[in-house]
């Protein structure tokens, strides 16, 4: 049974660490499979559209992303191509509660990753899903959206 993990918040120094790649051979390990389920459940229970492992104090390169009706668990995700065209959009973050700001992101990306069964996958996304994946991969590199945001404001304002 998947459990809800504790989401850490800024200024926790764990959010600023660069996450370690996972040995793909360990993806099928029962503990890793349990972590994937826990990460997805935590994201959904907190009304998130994405969640990166550093946000639950795990220094590994795994993100969960809502893509339409399905949730993708992406291991060692890597953006292989970005569109030159960028767009500004409002972002928030479960690890920076109550704050929102405008962030410029590539409109389209290609991403290479391994799924939770250890299969190599490629995905081409644009618009909101592309924004979410870029935001979550930033977490894996110790970057928060507030580092890139303009017009940062508290939600009560």
Q: How does pLDDT run across 114-149, given as a tens digit for each residue?
A: 999 999 999 999 999 999 999 999 999 999 999 999
Task: Put the strands of the sheet holding 86-93 in their side by side order.
Answer: 86-93, 96-106, 150-154
Whether 157 has a pLDDT exceeding 80, the answer reads no
Residue 8 located in a structural domain: no
In a domain, 28, yes or no: yes
pLDDT in tens, 64-97: 999 888 899 999 999 999 999 999 999 999 999 9
Helical ranges in 4-156 per DSSP H = 30-45, 128-140
Contact 33, 39 (CB under 8 A): no
The verdict on residue 112 lying in a domain is: yes
CATH number at residue 61: 3.90.45.10
| Domain count of the fold of the chain | 1
> Is residue 86 in some structural domain?
yes
Report yes or no on 42 lying in a domain: yes
**Known active-site residue 102:** no
Residue 145's domain comprises 13-154
Q: Which of 58, 78, 87, 136 is an active site residue?
A: 136
């Amino acid at each position: 049974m998947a459990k809800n993990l504790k989401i850490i918040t800024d200024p926790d120094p764990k959010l600023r660490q660069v996450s370690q790649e996972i040995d793909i051979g360990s993806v099928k390990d029962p503990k890793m499979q349990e972590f994937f389920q826990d990460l997805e459940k935590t994201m959904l229970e907190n009304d998130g559209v994405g969640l990166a492992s550093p946000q639950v104090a795990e220094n590994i390169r795994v993100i969960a992303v809502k893509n339409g009706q399905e949730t993708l668990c992406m291991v060692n995700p890597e953006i292989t191509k970005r569109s030159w065209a960028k767009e500004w959009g409002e972002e928030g973050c479960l690890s920076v509660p109550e704050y929102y700001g405008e962030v410029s992101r590539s409109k389209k990306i290609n991403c290479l990753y391994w799924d939770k069964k250890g299969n190599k996958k490629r995905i081409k996304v644009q618009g909101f899903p592309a924004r979410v994946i870029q935001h979550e991969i930033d977490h894996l590199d110790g970057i928060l959206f507030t580092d890139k945001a303009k017009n940062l404001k508290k939600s009560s304002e």
